[in-house]
Amino acid sequence: MKIVIPHNKSSLIKSITDRIDTRYVDSLATVLIDKEGPFFTLIVGQDSLISGCTIKLSTYSTHLKNVQFSIDGAFAKQLPNYFSLEKDIEFHFKTLSSSSSIIELIHVDLDKNKANSNQNNLSNETTYRKCGCKDASEKHTTYFKDIKQLPTTKIRKAAIERMLYEIKKIPHDDNLPEVFEFLEIDVEKQVIKVQIAGRVSEIFLPEEIHLPISIVMTQESFKQFDNLCKSIKDNEIGVVQQGELLILQTAEGVITCSLAGADEFQAKEPEETLSLMSMILNFKALKDEVQHCVNNYGTIKKADQAYLYLDNNRAAIATLTSLYEFVKPLPLKEIDTKKEGTTSLIRFSQKDLLKVKIKNSVNDFATQLKVIQHSNGELKLGVFCSENDELPYHSISIEKDDSQLPKVVAMLENFDKTQHLQQNTQSVLAFKPIYKKE
């Protein structure tokens, strides 16, 4: 029996096989063949986290029979990877005896380097693989049938794509492995409630997003929504939240995602924060000075601390150690200290600051920073992509340290005097009259 899955279904098959958790020694993938369709059904997953799809087989499939079997999960997980997206997935099912059957396939090696090194020997570019089959998992077949019968709320794919677009805009640093732990689209309050690094915040939901129900998701289920929108032609996706499970249904498949911990997230109130100070300055100049000190002064690197000086019309970066005292004024475009006459000195870790990437598409030399105070008194320096963002894409821990403020103020005053004298000297030299000898 030759089973051929059309190449345009490869991404759907991969979205299902990606759900296989090979950490379980008994991970299986169950295959159902319906020769009348002809249909191919693939079911995977452990316990209640069952996912699967049913698709129409290619007309190139031959000698089809109504069969059900399970294969090793690790082998099934690799199936889409053995064939390029432009090539049909093809394998054979063979019955060896009344109690023994196998699937086998031959595929071209997708390693371009390896294939190129063996251009003159096609046999070296292909691989034969065989895997033994087991009886079909009853847990798979029963649960898959049950979840397909669940009543779901149909949501237009266009609305889901608009929702995903807004989620992708949530500011975050590229170094973070995950943007958020939990996220809820709350249609009643018209907000997006999001938990990042354990902290819960709310941002307004754009008026253009119209969903029939509120949706809670994790990073994993967000990716599944995204994959489904890219791999299906359906105009709608069925959604049902059942306890700590989020189930997504289309005409071809069902994906079950875990929402473990969502109850605790939903019970959390958004944390109140207070913006003590907002500024727009040359963040590149700030990072460059920190990078220079770390790269060239071992004592400074070991101390791992620097200071940001701020007043109503000035910003500067200062480095203070037993050996060195540096200060560099920073171009400041705008500052809002919330209080006239406020002068602050903020201490921070140089390592933390250097992890922050400059992400300002308008002007890398004018980045918005905010000194943010959390409800527990903790201070953070938030870095924003633009003035309109409600959440920073990165923040670092900071501390106010006015004990060093007199020293930094004195350094800046000395800097101003020295610079003033240099400018006067240069002016005198520039305009000094030249007398010719008679």
Please report the pLDDT score of residue 145 as a whole number.
92
Kindly give the residue spans of alpha helices, DSSP state H, lying in 268-399: 283-296, 298-303, 350-354
Domain shared by 278 and 177, yes or no: no
Domain shared by 288 and 324, yes or no: yes
d(C-alpha 84, C-alpha 115), whole Å = 14
* pLDDT, mean of residues 332-359: 84
Q: What are 158-176's pLDDT values in tens digits? A: 999 999 988 888 876 665 5
Domain shared by 59 and 194, yes or no: no
Domain shared by 202 and 303, yes or no: no
Q: Indicate whether 437 belongs to any domain.
A: no
Domain shared by 229 and 243, yes or no: yes
Q: Indicate whether 382 belongs to any domain.
A: yes
Please report the pLDDT score of residue 273 as a whole number.
86
Check pLDDT > 60 for residue 216: yes
Please report the pLDDT score of residue 334 as a whole number.
85
Check pLDDT > 90 for residue 271: no
Domain shared by 160 and 251, yes or no: yes
Compute φ and ψ for 433, nearest 5 degrees. Answer: -70, 145
Domain shared by 59 and 172, yes or no: no
Domain shared by 261 and 348, yes or no: no
Q: How confident is the model at residue 97 (pLDDT cuts 50, 70, 90)?
A: confident
Please report the pLDDT score of residue 339 as a whole number.
59
Domain shared by 107 and 169, yes or no: no
Check pLDDT > 80 for residue 190: yes
Q: What are 72-95's pLDDT values in tens digits? A: 999 999 999 999 989 999 999 999
Domain shared by 119 and 186, yes or no: no
Q: What are 372-384's pLDDT values in tens digits? A: 998 888 999 988 8
Residue ending a domain, among 267, 283, 314, is 267
Residue ending a domain, among 267, 298, 327, is 267
d(C-alpha 14, C-alpha 358), whole Å = 35
Q: Give the structural domain span for 188.
A: 153-267
Check pLDDT > 60 for residue 288: yes
> Average model confidence (pLDDT) for the chain?
87
Q: Indicate whether 430 belongs to any domain.
A: no
Please report the pLDDT score of residue 233 as a whole number.
81
Check pLDDT > 90 for residue 407: yes
Please report the pLDDT score of residue 362 as a whole number.
55
Domains in the chain, number: 3
Q: Indicate whether 182 belongs to any domain.
A: yes
The token pair at 422 is 């240099």
| Percent over 90 (pLDDT), the chain | 57
Q: Indicate whether 231 belongs to any domain.
A: yes
Check pLDDT > 80 for residue 243: yes
Please report the pLDDT score of residue 432 as a whole number.
54
Q: How confident is the model at residue 303 (pLDDT cuts 50, 70, 90)?
A: very high
Q: Which SS3 state, helix, strand or coil, does residue 404 take? A: helix
Domain shared by 245 and 279, yes or no: no
Distances from the Cα of 153 to the Cαs of 144, 156, 160, 257, 429, in angstroms? 18, 10, 13, 16, 81
d(C-alpha 178, C-alpha 422), whole Å = 51
* pLDDT, mean of residues 210-224: 91
Please report the pLDDT score of residue 425 as a whole number.
62
Check pLDDT > 80 for residue 53: yes
Please report the pLDDT score of residue 118 as a whole number.
47
Closest CA to 270 of 172, 214, 371, 198: 198
Please report the pLDDT score of residue 248 as a whole number.
94
Check pLDDT > 90 for residue 419: no
Residue ending a domain, among 267, 289, 323, is 267
Q: How confident is the model at residue 333 (pLDDT cuts 50, 70, 90)?
A: confident
- Pairing type for strands 253-258 and 191-196 reads unpaired
Residues 131 and 71: beta-carbon distance below 8 Å:
yes
Q: What are 13-52's pLDDT values in tens digits? A: 999 999 999 999 889 999 999 999 999 999 999 988 999 9
Q: How confident is the model at residue 364 (pLDDT cuts 50, 70, 90)?
A: low
Domain shared by 403 and 292, yes or no: yes
Q: How confident is the model at residue 394 (pLDDT cuts 50, 70, 90)?
A: confident
The conformational region for residue 406 under phi > 0 = left, psi -120 to 50 = alpha, else beta, is alpha
Q: Indicate whether 133 belongs to any domain.
A: yes
Q: How confident is the model at residue 101 (pLDDT cuts 50, 70, 90)?
A: very high
* pLDDT, mean of residues 146-157: 92
Please report the pLDDT score of residue 113 as a whole number.
47
Q: Indicate whether 434 belongs to any domain.
A: no
The token pair at 344 is 């602050």
Instruction: Extract the runs of DSSP E, i.e. beta strands, from 9-162.
Output: 28-34, 39-44, 51-56, 67-72, 89-97, 100-108, 126-134, 153-156
| Percent over 70 (pLDDT), the chain | 89
* pLDDT, mean of residues 416-428: 70
Q: Indicate whether 435 belongs to any domain.
A: no
Weakest-pLDDT range from 100-109, 129-138, 339-348: 339-348
d(C-alpha 364, C-alpha 283), whole Å = 7
Check pLDDT > 50 for residue 115: no
Q: What is the CATH number of the domain that holds 112?
A: 3.10.150.10
